[in-house]
Structure 1
Amino acid sequence: MARVVFLEYPKCSTCKRARAWLDAHGVDYQARHIVEDNPAAEELRTWVERSGLPVRRFFNTSGMLYRERNLKAVLDAGVSVDEACALLSENGMLVKRPLVVADDFVLTGFREAEWQERLLG
């Protein structure tokens, strides 16, 4: 299996469920605290490209910081992928979690069926 990095906020209930799922299914992963070791803009840019997803899918749209900074309006006004990645790199709480990064794919959020398909084949 490819190397897997699991980016999480340990206090997040969804991240706890995702970690339990990884452990229950014997997935070998490297855990990374998304706030203490926030992804850099360059990493995020690589992950957005690898995922094939729109950069908006990498934002934690339900987070307080996202709402406080009115980032929906910022994104709606139009920003480049580089600008969006720079925003995300400012604070790990802006990044959708959990995030799974493998050599050939990236998963945002915890959707069990998608994780089953991509991580267990």
Structure 2
Amino acid sequence: MTIAFYGIRNCDTVKKARAWLDEQGIAYDFHDFKAEGVDPARLMHWIEQVGWETLLNRRGTTFRKLPDSDKQGIDADKAAALMTAQPSMIKRPVIEHPGGILVGFAADRYAATFC
């Protein structure tokens, strides 16, 4: 099984998730959305599957530096526009696998999904 792994190469959480997958011998195709961008249709699919609240990283520096006007009144469309314009605002990693989508890294969730 090969999974699709989306993230930012230098992100510590992405590094932990990749190391975990490597240790388990799980193959993945890596897409660095900071370098390569994020497909708006794929982003909308993720939003439909897990919700924009799960995907939007409000704790990150990129989001915190936004003007207050951009942080107010966020809905799915506004969140998608923000994440498309600045992929650093997407919580990382996002993993597409045959059973669904995982957002973030937690070894126990990964083990329950892949092992």
TM-score, with length taken from structure 2: 0.85
Bigger share in helix: 2
Closer/same/farther in 2, CA of residues 72 and 10 from structure 1, 3 Å limit: farther
How many angstroms apart in 2 are the aligned matches of 1:72 and 1:103? 38
1:47 equivalent to 2:52? Answer no
How far does residue 93 in structure 1 lie from its aligned partner after superposition? 0.6
Change (3 A) 1:117 1:55: same
Give the 5 Å matches for 1:27-46: 27-46=26-45
How many residues are aligned here?
Answer: 115
2:86 maps to 1:87? no
Q: 1:86 to 1:73 in 2, by over 3 A?
A: closer
Name the TM-score, length of structure 1 as normaliser: 0.82
Change (3 A) 1:33 1:71: farther
Q: Which moved more, 1:63-72 or 1:35-44?
A: 63-72
Alignment-mate amino acid for residue 29 of structure 2: Q
User: Can you give the 5+ residue segments of structure 1 that lack an aligned partner in the other structure?
Assistant: none
Counterpart CA distance in 1 for 2:17 and 2:93 is 7
Structure 2 partner of 1:14: 13
**Equivalent residue for 2:114?**
119
> Aligned-pair distance for 1:101?
1.5
CA RMSD of aligned residues (A): 2.1
For 2:57, the equivalent position in structure 1 comes to 60
Asked if 1:107 corresponds to 2:102, the answer is: yes
* 58 and 24 in structure 1: CA distance in 2 versus 1, 3 angstrom threshold: same
- The structure with more strand, counted as a fraction of residues: 2
